[in-house]
Amino acid sequence: MNEQTHPLTAAAPGDIVARDKRYIWHPYTQHGTETDPLVVARAKGASLFDADGREILDMISSWWTCTHGHAHPKINAAIARQAETIEHVMFAGFTHAPAVDLAETLASLLPGDLNRVFYSDDGSTSVEVAIKIAYQSWINRGETRRTLIAFEGGYHGDTLGAMSVGRSSQMFGAFKDLMCDVRVVPFPATFDGDDAVDEREAAALSALEATLSGGKDTIAAMIIEPMMQGSAGIRFCRPGFLARMVEMARAAGVVVIFDEVATGFGRTGRLFAMEHAGVTPDLVCLSKGLTGGYMPLAATVARDWLFDLFLGPDFDRALPHGHSFTANPLACSVALAALGLYAEEQTMERIAKINAAHRTMLDVLAARPDVSRQRVLGPVLAFELNEGGAYQSEASRKLRAWYIANGFNIRPIGSTVYLMPPYCITDEELFRAYAGMIEGLDRLGSGSL
User: What residues are annotated to the active site?
Assistant: 28, 155, 259, 288
The kind and range of the H/E element at 436 are helix 427-446
**The CA-based dihedral angle spanning residues 438, 440, 446, 449, taken in that order and rounded to the nearest 10 degrees:** 180
**Centroid of chain to Cα 77:** 26
The candidate with the shortest Cα–Cα distance to 125, out of 152, 98, 160, is: 160
Determine the angle formed by the axes of helices 329-344 and 347-359, rounding to 10 degrees: 70
Per DSSP, 190 falls in state B
Q: Is the dihedral of CA 162, 164, 166, 169 positive or negative?
A: positive
The kind and range of the H/E element at 176 are none
Contacts (Cβ under 8 Å, ≥6 apart) of 261? 123, 126, 127, 156, 157, 225, 285, 286, 287, 288, 298
Give the helix ranges, DSSP H, for 112-227.
123-140, 160-165, 197-214
Q: Tell me how far apart the terminal alpha carbons of the chain are, to the nearest angstrom.
A: 44
Max CA pair span of the chain: 70
Q: How far apart are CA 349 and CA 352, in angstroms?
A: 5
